Amino acid sequence: MNKKIQKALAVAATATLALGVVSISQAQAAAKVTTVSIAYQGPLSGGEAQTGIDEQNAVKFALKQYNDTNPAVKVTLVSVDDQGDPSVAGTVAPGTAANKNIIAVVGPAYSGATIASLPYYKAGNLPMISPSATRVSLTNPKDKASYGGPVFHRIPSTDAKQGPALAKYAVQGVTSPKVYVIDDQSSYSTGLRDYVLKQVAKSTLVGKDSIPNDATDFSATLSKIKSTDANVVIYTGYFSQASKLIKQLRGAGYKGVFAGGDGVLNQEFADLAGKDAEGARLTGGTIPLADADPALEVKFKAAMGVASGVYAVESYDATNIILAGIKAGKLTRLAMLNWINAYSGTGVAGNTISFDRFGDTAGAGFINGFVITNGKVVSKGQIK
């Protein structure tokens, strides 16, 4: 074969091969989809599971809406079940922090679990937005043991707002109130209790008690309540324990007001306590999704197959803040942390959400009241 012809064929073959490589590379590039993960952390099993299920459903809903748009960056969800228990949170947080695919966390749901998780998330620079952890010390830099900066942020008002509102709401319309306050010894409960006690007039406080959150027999406390003639009982713990307490209270003949904070604020409380929960007064720095955006609630039910639960609005807002960062190309933990710190936007309820340098939502302050009516949690609007 002529050398010139051989050379020409070799050049053509090389060109064809090169074009083939380019073509394959372009096809591979087109097929490649970037994927990152966010985590939801809260109680997904155990006595407090309904809180976590409600919140995670809202996270899933936001993710479904986002992923259904076929974005360039897909987002997957990692479920982190801490059972609302600090001791469990301390065992699941290290693995979450070590998973480099996770660039942000919605949660934790509970204050105690948040405190137990913070050392790992701080060390891993993993940004967090909690929809419901309200203990004041989480955003207080003077409290070295539980301060969450710089990674912790939250949507709702703190217990510095909720405590006084709960104390005020509990005694509304009660002639000559005699108030008895009970906590469950958890980080959340004792923090809320302290702010309740600051608001309760000394002349109306007739007693207080502290009961472990795994107690099942409240007879000693019931005797104290009876001996003081208390007509208002304020419980600052969580709904699973509150349902047991109120059933024993009513069974012992107590006819007065039973009130609780956002730890009790859950439809599961009404379901567990049955008729004994009727009339219970509850508070929370949250607004039902059906009230905030009725049309969005319809879409939620259609997508998730259930109605939204407590703190759905805040969970949805927290997730969308993170998703907005992902849309803006913030695909590392540090980039996401900077995005959240600088974020300013509008939530489902029309509220402006931005975070101060300690992680609190600037302008947060409303606390709503709720009453168990005909077995359902019914919103009564803002406590003023």
Closest by CA to 192, choosing from 225, 155, 167, 215, is 167
pLDDT at 13 > cutoff 80: no
Q: Which tens digits make up the pLDDT trace of 169-208?
A: 999 999 999 999 999 999 999 999 999 999 999 999 999 9
Bridge partners of residue 106, in order along the sequence = 40, 129
Q: Which of the pair, 25 or 334, is modelled with greater confidence? A: 334
Residue 234 is classified by DSSP as E
Burial of 15 (0-12, 13-18, 19+ CB in 10 A): exposed
Give me 44's structure tokens. Answer: 């997904």
How is the chain split into domains, by residue range? 35-156+292-350, 160-284+368-382
Determine the pLDDT at residue 12: 40
Q: Is 49 exposed, middle or buried (0-12, 13-18, 19+ CB in 10 A)?
A: middle
Q: Does 35 score more than 80 pLDDT?
A: yes
Nearest to 239 by CA among 213, 217, 220: 213
* pLDDT over threshold 70, residue 379: yes
The H or E element containing residue 92 is helix 86-98
Mean pLDDT for the stretch of residues 239-250: 97
Alpha carbons 86 and 45: distance in angstroms, whole number: 14
How many beta carbons lie within 10 A of that of residue 345, not counting itself?
12
CATH class of 35-156+292-350: alpha beta
Pairing of strands 73-81, 368-373: unpaired
SS3 category, 256: coil
CATH class of the region 160-284+368-382 = alpha beta
Q: Residues 133, 232, 225, 275: is their CA dihedral positive or negative?
A: negative
Average pLDDT, the chain: 92
On the CB side of 211, how many CA atoms lie within 13 Å of its CA? 24
What pLDDT is recorded for position 30? 40
Cβ–Cβ under 8 Å, residues 56 and 79: yes
Q: Is the pLDDT of residue 346 over 50?
A: yes
pLDDT for residue 7:
43
pLDDT (average), residues 215-232: 96
pTM, rounded to two decimals: 0.90
Residue 24 has pLDDT above 50, yes or no: no
Instruction: Lowest mean pLDDT of 15-29, 54-68, 145-159, 324-338, name the range.
Output: 15-29
From the list 104, 113, 102, the residue with the least C-alpha distance to 135 is 113
**Token pair 């939250």: residue:** 154
Check if 35-156+292-350 and 160-284+368-382 are the same fold.
yes
Q: How far apart are CA 134 and CA 157, in angstroms?
A: 7
What is the number of residues in the chain? 384
State the pairing for strand pair 368-373/376-382: antiparallel
Statement: residue 161 has pLDDT above 90: yes
Average pLDDT over residues 6-19: 40
pLDDT at 23: 39
Quick check: helix, strand or coil at residue 101? coil
Helix (H, G, I), strand (E, B) or coil at 93: helix
25, amino acid identity: S
Average pLDDT over every residue of 325-343: 98
Using 50, 70 and 90 to split pLDDT, how confident is the model at 362?
Answer: confident
Among 122, 105, 87, CA closest to 39: 105
List, for residues 96-128, the tens digit of each pLDDT value.
999 999 999 999 999 999 999 999 999 999 999
Main-chain phi, psi angles of 325, to 5 degrees: -65, -40
pLDDT at 238: 96
Contact call for residues 195 and 202 (beta carbons, < 8 A): no
